[in-house]
Structure 1
């Protein structure tokens, strides 16, 4: 018995000495073993905000997170209902060695600093019930990731440079108030008109163009832009239509330039080109252009229950799109929106398609100057047609792959930025 006890003592000494038996890392799995995929992003963000590093293990168990062992992180996981595993040094080292193998499509990317996040939304200044269902606001709130809301006045005063990441959702940058009175109340319109007057613009469309150009410069200077739904479509329409009246008299008191379509300058846009404007007047339709693959009388709100597929990128060579497409599912339910998806022949060749359905592109990435952007079609990844006034309760969808794509974008600026190699 004595010799057995000696062997046990020696084993314990070895374990404590080299760390083989000591839990030295926390793994937050992002595969089917994860109890709450969306809140896991909030853990990663908080860890960064608290001054610690996170390693994002691309294509390892759904894009898992690896963090140095820390009691506060473990407690936070338990409080938020996020699954985690404790690993010894040798186990963590073995995983990283597996990932580094050139023959496997995996990579480890260090996340170094929590990005300062801004959301561009009229909830800053008016009731804007439609904006309360903004999927990014819903995702950030659920994941407990802090952000600040900005709108036209803050942007025109030069406050964007305080942030690393900016989100645009349903906004209409053409100055046509969404082309849908169900979306925007008379009070919402009045507030925008008041801001335009206060900032010295004769028309809301002139102010929105100035805002769009400022956002484009913000992105080109090395920041990150994420846009969904009509925010992505109308952003480029406004840029292409600089100096051209594309707004009907119902919105601004005078008529549309008869040659507006011919005068569009697609060199000024970020992601889209060769699109045709919908210049029909009134509130009859919800379409802005044929960028929206579901354009027509009802815009994208007649989108059927089909699916789109994420592309598979090389984690070691195409690191950026690999980060932005991390998921536990690669086939995702389509969802509607005023701009549900992007017509394929309107997407510039310079944009990288990361997800598409049979008839349209759903998720694209691009670079402007030294900055980057991603555009994602649709209003709410878990939304139901006809229920846009009610924000989605993510307690019912903690594993939503559609929402995971949004949160991938939130973490992206925290990584060491690497240009695509292919």
Structure 2
């Protein structure tokens, strides 16, 4: 009996020793982001989960698709399994070898340390009304899918100064000009009524005046050090509204009076964020009844139809990870070519993009993905409505369970992690 107990005792000691040695060597978890990853989008959620717990994450730029490396813990390993994210448990020796490879001056790689998770907020009318169209917003969809927490604000919260609570702001595919999307199909009756109620509550005679103050507050949030991300008409109409401050560009079908006939010549492009020298599309009332939806010549697809969404692609630029760290973070992907997708503002006319903006993705005819700095803050504008969506505006929300490897959605999530990085100034 004593011999049996002794053997059992020795077995436990040996087993404990083996487990202890294995754990001590397994110092990190590597979440690769190349073609071997089982769920690219949820991998960002794991990284954010780790940051939310005040633990750092190494973002390995251009290493196996822009991988994430974190200190090992059983909780982290469990989280990866629960979310269906593939990972590798690696030793301290492996970590040193990877970092040495990345640091080599002849390779286009770098390691960026991510710190505290950004406080994320989405500007969307779902705060005040319910519409299936708003539920198709790509950022709302991917934040929910990746299990990244966020809050919702709309006009009233912005007027109250609530943006100061957050680090990162996404603009819903909004119309900041007060024209309700320039089409009766574009917003629901509930959306329109909600905006009119807010304008009335705060003493504005017109929704366009309300939206202008909201647009200026958003610009101020960015200039003060915030991170602004906008897609589709949110990007275009924001700058149109800022340039048209004090100018009536809203036809009578929306506000009861006509457009200033000299509106185009009065635009002030010094007030805009990303675009300049654009031409307004000042339609008459009959054009709106027929379905006119373009705001300006910023939209490169205006009047050109849908095109061929199955064969057209835009490409991401290849930046120097060691020198151009910011754009390198924002273009991390496992694919360089991304299928084009549409929206009210599908893409940006190259002639209207300011020279101060950095183009990170483009097709032959347009800029799709641009970045810039404003005051102490940064902004990214991304053309199109939904990277995996279908044509039309009365569509069902995209099921991201069917698109866990979407390169178009990865660009959105790059921006979500961007504020957590200790960034270096771009040198080129």
TM-score tier (shorter) = over 0.9
Name 2:49's counterpart in structure 1.
Answer: 46
Match of 1:231 in 2: 234
Correspondence for 1:246: 249
Residue of structure 2 in register with 1:287 after alignment: 294
Would the aligned equivalents of 2:133 and 2:393 in 1 still touch at CA under 8 Å? no
Alignment of 1:175-194 (within 5 A): 175-194=178-197
Is 1:310 the counterpart of 2:313 in the alignment?
no
Take 1:392 and 1:195, find their aligned partners in 2: how far apart are those partners?
A: 30
Q: Distance in 2 between matches of 1:154 and 1:417?
A: 30
Measure, in 2, the Cα distance between the counterparts of 1:249 and 1:183: 18
Relative to structure 1, the CA distance from residue 389 to residue 304 in structure 2 (aligned partners, 3 Å threshold; closer, same or farther) is closer
Q: Indicate conservation of the 8 Å contact 1:303/1:336, yes or no.
A: no
Counterpart of 1:92? 95
Which whole-Å deviations, capped at 9, do the CAs of 1:295-345 have from their partners, x for residues lacking one? 1286xx556431000000010100000000000000000000000000000
Match of 1:214 in 2: 217
Q: 1:417 deviation in Å?
A: 2.5
Q: What whole-Å deviation, never above 9, does each CA across 1:264-288 have from its counterpart, x for those lacking one?
A: 0000000000000000023231101
Residue 29 of structure 1: aligned partner: 32
Residue of structure 2 in register with 1:4 after alignment: none
1:68-83 aligned within 5 A: 68-83=71-86
Q: Within the alignment, does 1:369 sit opposite 2:350 as a pair?
A: no
1:379–1:303 CA distance, 2 compared to 1 (3 A): farther
2:199 — aligned with what? 196
Moved over 6 A (4+): 12-17
Aligned residues: 410
SS in 2 for 1:166: strand
Whether contact under 8 Å (1:110, 1:415) holds in the other structure is yes
CA offsets 1:328-379 (integer angstroms, 9 cap, x no match):
0000000000000000000000000000000000000000001000000000
Pair 1:163-2:166 in alignment: yes
Separation of aligned partners in 1, 2:241 and 2:117: 31
Q: How far, CA to CA, are the matches of 1:265 and 1:303 in structure 2?
A: 35
Structure 1 residue corresponding to 2:259, chosen from 256, 260, 263 = 256
Instruction: Tell me the TM-score normalised to structure 1 length.
Output: 0.94
Q: Distance in 2 between matches of 1:407 and 1:419?
A: 21
Whether 1:399 and 2:405 are equivalent positions in the alignment is: yes
Structure 1, gaps ≥5 residues long: 1-11
For residue 151 of structure 2, the aligned residue among 142, 148, 152 is 148
Q: Please state whether the residue corresponding to 1:314 is helix, strand or coil.
A: coil
Change (3 A) 1:196 1:91: same
Aligned to 2:348: 342
Give unmatched runs, 5+ long, in structure 2: 1-15
Partner of 1:324: 330
SS in 2 for 1:183: coil
> Conserved in 2, the CA contact under 8 Å of 1:118 and 1:165?
yes
Q: Deviations over 1:72-129 (max 9, x none)?
A: 1100000000000000000011000110111111000010010000000000001232
User: Using the alignment, how far apart are the partners of 1:178 and 1:286 within structure 2?
Assistant: 7
- Separation in structure 1 between the aligned mates of residue 112 and residue 415 of structure 2, nearest angstrom: 14
| Offset of residue 418 of structure 1 | 1.9
Local SS of the residue matching 1:129:
coil
Alignment CA distance shift 1:303-1:281 (3 Å): farther
Q: Tell me which of 361, 386, 400 is aligned to 2:392.
A: 386
Q: CA deviation at 1:186?
A: 1.7
Q: Deviations over 1:205-243 (max 9, x none)?
A: 000000000000000011100000000000000000000
Taking structure 2 as the reference length, the TM-score comes to 0.93
**1:294–1:303 contact (8 Å) kept in structure 2:** no
Cα pair 1:310 1:325 within 8 Å, conserved: yes
